[in-house]
Structure 1
């Protein structure tokens, strides 16, 4: 159930504004004073005292503790000891010997998976015979995920008496619904029907003892898992096996955290009891196996193992093995829930056994997240809307989790380690996975960092490293994964826009100068090589048919998203070129941006629908990514922007955000899958097109859904049908590319942004919508840029800007389409029809004022 937004009561004039509709830029409708003057000081003084610190989720402490016990299983004494309240004891009796099938027993199945490697002594094959070989490390794996029925048939050389059977499966392939039948010599007789099973080990009792030489298990549904829905049976025992349940305690850290768990043991019995740690970001996917570990890519155990000694000890879960290749752990994890079990893998015997006694003092986490206490914030945001405030700081916390040092032991295991990044602060994509710095993610998480904690070196280290691995033809890799070779079509453009952002926010023109040749090579060599005769990027040219993009979508030809992003990259590059004195390049790229924009409007605008096509090739569909970026990049006219945003609102709105496609012709879930990554430019487009209230409404659906559902607070990689985790347990629930609500609120609602390197020049352009007031600080190399505005109190809008020395900027105030008077520091700058100061101009929706230097300035919008 969605939580209700805790909004402060709004005055009647603001409630009246809400009735104007989502497509209006709304300002307060209170009249001015009789003398035509409004008291700016009174308006600003009426705001409550700053209270943003109460929304901060992070901490400056390196050690994080769990907040509650979720559940226990088996023999556990005083589980609260793990919260620092004494000693917790886990105990498990040694299991009895398992019944065995007669020698010569065989098994067949409907299908079985082909070999694909092995690990920790596990054979590489998955044939059905593994279900009766007496080795719980091996298993039968059917070959057809999501295809039912799947059956396993066991044949004994002689009849056996069976009171029932026991099925031992794997948490990645638990049969949920299945029947058990026995052969009576002439026909199959159903002995049991099981539904809704979630037990890895399930005893199935027959109505009465049966003598038979054949047993058939028919599976009609499997429990969803991180690797898909299929059946995986490790062993079927001929009889009822009732092992003592593993003693376990599940801890809740209250929100997603990241780092190295530390367990303090008071001691253990001398029979080598093992401890297994399973991690999950959600309770839904918390099992005896982690929802994701790096060893998943190599067929690992899916848990972290440790065998505590008899004497007291402290163990920090870092990557490595305790004894040779036995009792191994992955180390760093991103998770909310931690299950600690007295259990062990058979392959870890005799170093660790699944029984005995273990005593624990407490559990903590050595956090690797960027410290995030209130004192670490260099920028902040606050408004009259409690929900928006929460989403801003939740996103900041999400970004803290992915701001971390690049370590070979903790990063994406598919050949992503890089000596050129090891030991450097970076922006990973996710806390749990992939833990690799992708430049598309940096395009969003970089902005989030600049506006919150302002540690720009985390973005610079990534951008510089990727440029240092540029291919000879100008293509820039998206990340270090696969040795910097993962072929993505769009990410070199994100490198351009992210480099521009980095310079604008940090003022690091030395970076711009050093990597300017890389930028030139990307835009003037590689992208021209994939440009067709109509002047549009076309995926498939120059051997790019197999290239992916941010979601590995099977798109080809002229795609609006690629081309609109190209326009934005060209404009950003032109800005960088001008700041470095390369005026010819700037002019050429600006002209190319105009030419590509014209081609997009000529060939990819669907006038019948009123939106941009996803692609000029294939079925007709319209994407959120292309339409949002076309508006933000200035490709769309105001009428086109209004039409496209109207189409997206009508066809893609879901309770949990806006889907990234308006139908399912590209991928089966296109109209139900939501990405905050592609929602961000759509939200930007709504703010910038005079639809502030619809932008706020979309934010509240998207970020409200993520906040109200497990694990809460952090921002998800993607959302699937009905608000689910779009890739099941594999989904990252704390992903930097989903934090666009921070720049959306600071840059677009509050309205402040840099226009020159290091905020040498800036703009303030509020888009208030129904928000009564907002204020914030944007950190700059020159000092703080402070912005506050409020609606009402004798003015349509009262705005205060405090800008640091060495900077200058422009201010644009909304008019609500009315003929207004604009005063700067008490003096009329726009009298409703003409400019009296600050080179004021009006476009009907805003009055723009120019030439503000350092210091404090107030701007008021009144009706006379």
Structure 2
């Protein structure tokens, strides 16, 4: 039973809670009378924003479909219906654009018509305009895999018909039978999505990067269905490797969401050892790494302990794949991602690095769980494997994993492998780890440029979500996805793609491509949990070439609010407001006092080192002594490592302004507490 909400916006504050099953955490909540269960998916209606195309003949009043309608068939509609007619060899049709990627259905409303009999219509959904115009099969590979997006349906007389589900932005509607016109009073999309608030946020001095953060958040939000899917057109499945960047994005945007443990547990339950998750060895490794990320972010010890039997056995299986010489001997499908696959030497390098990362993670997790034996097995295997550093053979994905595993020097790896060629050799999945490896090398400027160029390149082609794969070489003479392909232009959707996603099979909403959203929150805002459950966090902003960045980062105790600004001398100053119970360690920035900045512990603040004014607030004195008018008064509490020093320090001079950017001598007011 879905919750249906009539709303044009998907940004609501209703939260669907989680419920735990016995073996598998389920995403359904609150059993209803009669055994029905409430779906975690809410529904929103999205109206078409434009008519992209209509046939030269056989279509009238298509603009009716762009008007406001009540969403209910009525006996007498105020506007004439859109009528679509077909004749042999000349089908009438219309193509509508909903303006954004949709996971869900198309709903068609019909009026009264002569004859009172149902009529047939062909409905084609597409993530691009050209996909919605294509016939099944053919050179461009349009298909109905995983979700039926091209079908003939029967439309009722004076009624409503719903078609789907699938992932789409465009719908083409054709009349099928000659002399049986299709009459439409309204066509709208039904967006199915989790109605959860976006606790995390990000803005910066570069609007393109701000937009990229939002698009990555939108991409994963659409994939958060009953379980966490790879993509919404295809495969609509839980792929554990895909989940790692998705979970990183969810943690940065939404905080905890039960779709993550539900998907982790589902995959565990259907993958008895010694099988690999999804049939891929590296995906079982990503399962371990996701669990450590969830533990660091949310600190749910009960959930972590529930993983222990499977986790311990999996880690011992992985440790056994490190030979006495330190080389990995991973069996099964040896896979990082599709674009990496032709370079098997690079895949080998990446698997060696990923295995070390996984065993290091296993050492920490099993130590936390008190299993010193398995922790020791992981540690010994990781130490052996760390001594073998395969050549990545130019693979940016493989080299990035070796760098992140601490097996190759980060700066040398960036200079020799990651930076040459720019975005060439980067993929939407493993680009996340290339960005992290660049950050580790201190090359924030290069990482930001890569995000602008590579992920921004999809936006330049009309994307509202990020794609399963992308290659800048495809963009030469390419058309946008929101237009019909002009003569002489390349179809960026139908003419491109590779491997299992050639042509229109290519997914244009794929969660593994959301990495920049997580990266901008973690590296530019600079937020990292230092203790499980975010009882302590590090703030180490990497502004790169940005003038400022601000946002929020979710924690179990509430969001951390941050703003970072670059000063004329190149240094960074920050305003950080953590929730109660979250201590902050700041690195590479000067923390400024601000409203609600309780719990901030600055590292290296010059003359004021070790002293932090917290709880700064403005009060009004109603009847100040000796003053005839109401005046503001600042109050604060001083903390210091030397408590006596804090008590002795009784006089302060404080710059006061209405917003952080005005806190400069000569711009702000100077208040003296003395």
Calculate the TM-score normalised by the size of structure 2. 0.72
In the alignment, what sits opposite 1:580? 369
Superposed CA deviations along residues 545-571 of structure 1, whole A, max 9, x for unmatched, are x55553293676881111111121122
Q: 1:523 to 1:465 in 2, by over 3 A?
A: same
Alpha-carbon shift at residue 803 of structure 1 (Å): 2.7
Cα separation, 2, equivalents of 1:547 and 1:794: 49
**2:283 is the alignment partner of 1:503:** no
Q: 1:589 to 1:814 in 2, by over 3 A?
A: farther
Name the SS of the counterpart of 1:250 in structure 2. Answer: strand
Alignment of 1:126-137 (within 5 A): none
2:175 to 342, 366, 369: 342
Name the SS of the counterpart of 2:551 in structure 1. Answer: strand
Alpha-carbon shift at residue 714 of structure 1 (Å): 0.9
1:706 to 441, 452, 458: 458
Whether the 8 Å contact between 2:418 and 2:434 is mirrored in structure 1 is: no
Cα separation, 2, equivalents of 1:758 and 1:283: 45
Name the SS of the counterpart of 2:128 in structure 1. Answer: coil
Q: 1:446 to 1:302 in 2, by over 3 A?
A: closer
Higher relative strand content: 1
Superposed CA deviations along residues 174-202 of structure 1, whole A, max 9, x for unmatched, are xxxxxxxxxxxxxxxxxxxxxxxxxxxxx
Q: 1:580 to 1:274 in 2, by over 3 A?
A: same
Cα separation, 1, equivalents of 2:114 and 2:303: 59
In the alignment, what sits opposite 2:563? 788
In the alignment, what sits opposite 2:539? 764
In the alignment, what sits opposite 1:68? 50
In the alignment, what sits opposite 1:366? 190
1:777 to 526, 529, 552: 552
In the alignment, what sits opposite 2:314? 522
Alpha-carbon shift at residue 642 of structure 1 (Å): 2.1
Whether the 8 Å contact between 2:112 and 2:158 is mirrored in structure 1 is: yes
Name the SS of the counterpart of 1:429 in structure 2. Answer: coil
Superposed CA deviations along residues 299-330 of structure 1, whole A, max 9, x for unmatched, are x9861222223x3011111xxxxxxxxxxxxx
Superposed CA deviations along residues 319-354 of structure 1, whole A, max 9, x for unmatched, are xxxxxxxxxxxx2011111101112xxxxxxxxx35
Alpha-carbon shift at residue 273 of structure 1 (Å): 3.4
In the alignment, what sits opposite 1:399? 220
In the alignment, what sits opposite 2:396? 624
Calculate the TM-score normalised by the size of structure 1. 0.57
Alignment of 1:702-781 (within 5 A): 702-710=454-462, 712-720=463-471, 721-723=473-475, 724=492, 725-726=496-497, 727-781=502-556
**2:413 is the alignment partner of 1:644:** yes
Q: Bigger shift: 775-784 or 333-342? A: 775-784
Alignment of 1:580-599 (within 5 A): 580-599=369-388
In the alignment, what sits opposite 2:326? 535
Alpha-carbon shift at residue 799 of structure 1 (Å): 2.0
**2:82 is the alignment partner of 1:89:** yes
Alpha-carbon shift at residue 524 of structure 1 (Å): 0.6
Name the SS of the counterpart of 1:285 in structure 2. Answer: helix
Alpha-carbon shift at residue 476 of structure 1 (Å): 4.0
Whether the 8 Å contact between 1:488 and 1:550 is mirrored in structure 2 is: no
Whether the 8 Å contact between 1:66 and 1:83 is mirrored in structure 2 is: yes
Whether the 8 Å contact between 1:567 and 1:633 is mirrored in structure 2 is: yes
Alignment of 1:392-541 (within 5 A): 392-405=213-226, 426-473=227-274, 475-478=275-278, 487-525=279-317, 527-539=318-330, 541=331
Whether the 8 Å contact between 2:444 and 2:542 is mirrored in structure 1 is: yes
**2:201 is the alignment partner of 1:380:** yes
Cα separation, 2, equivalents of 1:581 and 1:377: 35
- In structure 1, the gaps of 5 or more residues are 1-55, 96-242, 318-330, 344-352, 406-425, 479-486, 605-611, 614-620, 661-674, 816-820, 831-836, 840-859
Q: Relative contact order (alpha carbons < 8 A, sep ≥ 6): 1 or 2 greater?
A: 1
Cα separation, 2, equivalents of 1:427 and 1:768: 31
**2:583 is the alignment partner of 1:808:** yes
**2:126 is the alignment partner of 1:280:** yes
Q: 1:90 to 1:703 in 2, by over 3 A?
A: same
Whether the 8 Å contact between 1:466 and 1:476 is mirrored in structure 2 is: no
Alpha-carbon shift at residue 753 of structure 1 (Å): 1.4
Alpha-carbon shift at residue 623 of structure 1 (Å): 1.0
Whether the 8 Å contact between 1:268 and 1:358 is mirrored in structure 2 is: no
Cα separation, 2, equivalents of 1:587 and 1:792: 47
Alpha-carbon shift at residue 470 of structure 1 (Å): 3.1
In the alignment, what sits opposite 1:80? 63
Bigger Cα Rg: 1
Cα separation, 1, equivalents of 2:533 and 2:256: 13
Cα separation, 2, equivalents of 1:765 and 1:293: 46
Name the SS of the counterpart of 2:225 in structure 1. Answer: strand
Aligned pair count reads 530
Whether the 8 Å contact between 1:564 and 1:629 is mirrored in structure 2 is: yes
2:574 to 794, 799, 823: 799
In the alignment, what sits opposite 1:553? 341
In the alignment, what sits opposite 2:608? 827
Higher relative helix content: 2
Whether the 8 Å contact between 1:789 and 1:798 is mirrored in structure 2 is: yes
Name the SS of the counterpart of 1:391 in structure 2. Answer: helix
In the alignment, what sits opposite 1:234? none
- The CA RMSD over aligned residues, in Å, is 3.2
Whether the 8 Å contact between 2:81 and 2:111 is mirrored in structure 1 is: no
Alpha-carbon shift at residue 587 of structure 1 (Å): 4.8
Alpha-carbon shift at residue 293 of structure 1 (Å): 11
Cα separation, 2, equivalents of 1:477 and 1:511: 20
Cα separation, 2, equivalents of 1:520 and 1:301: 41
Cα separation, 2, equivalents of 1:567 and 1:429: 25
Name the SS of the counterpart of 1:500 in structure 2. Answer: helix
Alpha-carbon shift at residue 369 of structure 1 (Å): 2.2
Q: 1:392 to 1:297 in 2, by over 3 A?
A: closer
Cα separation, 1, equivalents of 2:11 and 2:342: 42
Cα separation, 2, equivalents of 1:766 and 1:257: 34
In the alignment, what sits opposite 2:99? 254
Cα separation, 1, equivalents of 2:531 and 2:563: 21
Whether the 8 Å contact between 2:106 and 2:189 is mirrored in structure 1 is: yes
In the alignment, what sits opposite 1:26? none
- In structure 2, the gaps of 5 or more residues are 1-7, 13-42, 69-78, 476-491, 591-601, 612-639, 643-662, 664-674
Q: 1:594 to 1:748 in 2, by over 3 A?
A: farther
2:158 to 304, 312, 328: 312
